[in-house]
């Protein structure tokens, strides 16, 4: 049994914390929003009065915050000073690679250990304990984090040193964002050429255009009954989150001087989608913007 402080009990954090409890760990939670703390208490997770109080006796601190600025501020102002020397910090929020490395350096300078361990799989994956974790950090820290990550996920990949978990996440989501646009454009083009959705799906799903954005997240209703398109793009992976992740990709593209024109364009397309009707809809709803624009 490991004593874990779990900070950030939102859409992802609370079900992840519940899975740690189910695996027999002692979990103390904390969220700055009282309603999130209430939901944790109702789920049987004791909640501390502050982040500092939550981490004081912990062996491992897991953070699941909205963005990098929350991670840096919480590490700097509260958590690193309050934790026992040598505490392992597992940072699972989706943040910029540079922010993950900064958080790592801060943790090391304060006498602690740190891995970045962002996730994919969404709220359903968090609830079912089937998340994928992409981990950056030392071999020793990865080995210590692994059994805890296995309680919350089913695929855990050690991607390399500090920040490389976030690097893998940003690269994956750049592929995902671009490929979802490509599939949506193809369906709109097919519509205008007189092609039935099902016919296009039957061809492409067995051909070289096959991809997750088509066979799992098909942007038109019908061919894949479980895709968000069948429920007016609810629920799913929100356009606002895709816009956020592509903003992080853009930061990485610019920081490395990479010629990633498709990634840059995808960032602009999802930023406009999220600013319009798409913030709370699945990102495959981008097809409605593409139809209107043409």
Is residue 12 close enough to count as binding ligand NAD by CB under 6 A?
yes
- Would you tell me the crossing angle of helices 164-193 and 97-109 to the nearest 10 degrees? 160
Residues numbered 131 to 190 that lie near ligand NAD (CB under 6 A) are none
Which residues touch 156 (CB under 8 Å, ≥6 apart)? 132, 133, 135, 146, 149, 150
Stretch that binds ligand NAD, among 8-16, 142-150, 208-216, 285-293 (CB under 6 A): 8-16
- Which of 29-37, 183-191, 204-212, 252-260 is the region at the interface with ligand NAD (rule: CB under 6 A)? 29-37
Please give the residues from 223 up to 262 whose contact with ligand NAD meets the rule CB under 6 A.
237, 241, 244
Q: What is the dihedral of CA 79, 19, 115, 139, to 10 degrees?
A: 140
Q: Write the DSSP string, 66-78.
A: SSHHHHHHHIIII
CA 24 to chain centre: 25
Question: Is 169 labeled as catalytic in the residue annotation?
Answer: yes
In the complex with ligand NAD, which residue's Cβ is closer, 16 or 253? 16
Please select the residue that binds ligand NAD; options are 32, 72, 186, 272, rule is CB under 6 A. Answer: 32
Among 19, 87, 93, 284, binds ligand NAD (CB under 6 A): 93
94 binds ligand NAD (CB under 6 A): yes
User: Looking at 11, 154, 197, 264, which residue binds ligand NAD (CB under 6 A)?
Assistant: 11
Q: Least distance from C-beta 272 to ligand NAD, angstroms?
A: 19
Closest CA to 115 of 170, 162, 79: 162
Range in contact with ligand NAD (rule: CB under 6 A) among 2-10, 188-196, 199-207, 260-268: 2-10
From 5, 6, 13, 227, residue interacting with ligand NAD (rule: CB under 6 A): 13
Cβ neighbours around 52 below 10 Å, total: 17
- DSSP H helices in the chain: 13-22, 34-42, 51-55, 68-74, 80-82, 97-109, 122-128, 139-152, 164-193, 197-204, 212-215, 239-256, 261-273, 286-293
Binding site for ligand NAD (CB under 6 A): 7-13, 30-33, 36, 51, 64-66, 70, 74, 93-94, 119-120, 122-123, 237, 241, 244
- State the catalytic residues: 169
């Amino acid at each position: 049994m490991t004593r874990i402080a779990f900070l950030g009990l939102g859409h992802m954090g609370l079900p992840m914390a519940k899975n740690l409890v189910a695996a027999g760990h002692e979990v103390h939670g904390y969220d700055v929003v009282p309603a999130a703390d209430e939901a944790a208490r109702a789920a049987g997770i004791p909640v501390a009065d502050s982040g500092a109080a939550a981490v004081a006796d912990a062996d491992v601190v897991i953070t699941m915050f909205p963005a990098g600025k929350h991670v840096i501020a919480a590490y700097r102002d509260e958590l690193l000073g309050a934790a026992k020397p040598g505490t392992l910090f597992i940072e699972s929020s989706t943040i910029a690679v540079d922010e993950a490395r900064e958080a790592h350096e801060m943790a090391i300078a304060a006498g602690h250990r740190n891995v970045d361990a962002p996730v994919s799989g969404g709220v359903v994956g968090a609830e079912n304990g089937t998340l994928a974790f992409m981990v950056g950090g030392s071999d020793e820290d990865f080995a210590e984090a692994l059994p805890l990550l296995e309680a919350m996920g089913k695929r855990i990949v050690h991607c390399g040193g500090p920040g490389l978990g976030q690097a893998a996440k940003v690269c994956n989501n750049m592929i995902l964002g671009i490929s979802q646009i490509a599939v949506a454009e193809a369906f709109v083009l097919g519509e205008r050429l007189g092609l039935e959705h099902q016919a296009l799906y039957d061809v492409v799903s067995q051909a070289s255009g096959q991809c997750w954005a088509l066979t799992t997240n098909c942007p038109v209703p019908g061919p894949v009954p479980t895709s968000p398109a069948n429920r007016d793009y609810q629920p799913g992976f929100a356009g606002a989150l895709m816009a956020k992740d592509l903003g992080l990709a853009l930061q990485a593209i610019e920081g490395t001087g990479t010629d990633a024109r498709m990634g840059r364009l995808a960032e602009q397309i999802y930023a406009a989608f999220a600013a319009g009707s798409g913030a709370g809809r699945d990102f495959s709803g981008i097809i409605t913007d593409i139809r209107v624009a043409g």
